Chain A
């Protein structure tokens, strides 16, 4: 175990990160299940009669579900990388842990942008068409 990396290691901070990250992943996973249930119950798309609003709302719901699934996957992967960093405490595992954190932050930014586009679409575009 390289002493340089291990001296940066703080078990309490890692434990706190692990706890909140696990909670976040679980909460997003439950939200994903709720979204899938709502999608199955509420969306019955008849492609021959569908309007542009139906198609956009259908695709926006699918992309929202896909993004939630990606967040759960990357969150779980970040936890795996953290575990490997805790076990090995070397430079490679630290770099991989950092990279998965960056990927997760990218997805959160994407989530914010998607929700804003969705909000603007429903608030302005749909009321304009109807």
Chain B
């Protein structure tokens, strides 16, 4: 059986209502997350103008944080777009693209969280 036929068979079993409900919820959540992320990024950019007021270390930390946030947001947007493409056209190729994008998003978050740990360690070390 071809993958496309598999998904066609799977779709009625999973239920169109299920996909529609999940799609509606995720679309709302993704929009909130995207808008929030953009506002947050703009706030960082605005603070970046006053960078001279911060400690010397912030010359390094702030821009890296800004780039990391933008990168995570970019991955989130890609995952969101891939999911919408899959929901509108449920075929095996779109399913694979969505899953790969989701992994890349999780990967970006994992690297971001590791960076936060590193930042905490650096500040702890500097404070002592």
Contacts and interface: CB of A to CB of B under 8 A. Distances in A.
Interface of A: 3-5, 7-8, 10, 13, 16-17, 20-21, 23-24, 27-28, 30-31, 34, 91, 94-95, 98, 101-102, 105-106, 108-109, 112-113, 115-116, 119-120, 123
A3 B3 CA distance: 11
Nearest to B40: A116
Contact of B106 (A7, A17, A31): A17
Interface residues of B, number: 39
Contacts, number: 93
Q: Dominant SS at the A interface?
A: helix
8 contacts: A13-B100, A16-B103, A21-B106, A24-B110, A28-B113, A109-B36, A113-B36, A119-B40
Contacts of B59: none
- Which 10 A-B residue pairs are closest in the complex by CB-CB distance? A27-B113, A109-B33, A24-B110, A23-B110, A109-B29, A20-B106, A20-B107, A112-B36, A116-B36, A116-B40
Nearest to A120: B43
Contacts of B22: 98, 102
A95 B14 contact: yes
A24 B109 contact: yes
Interface string B29-64: 110110011011001000100000000000000000
B106 A109 contact: no
A12 B29 CA distance: 29
Interface of B: 1, 3, 6-7, 9-10, 13-14, 18, 22, 25-26, 29-30, 32-33, 36-37, 39-40, 43, 47, 76, 92, 95-96, 99-100, 102-103, 106-107, 109-110, 113-114, 116-117, 120
B33 to A, nearest CB: 4
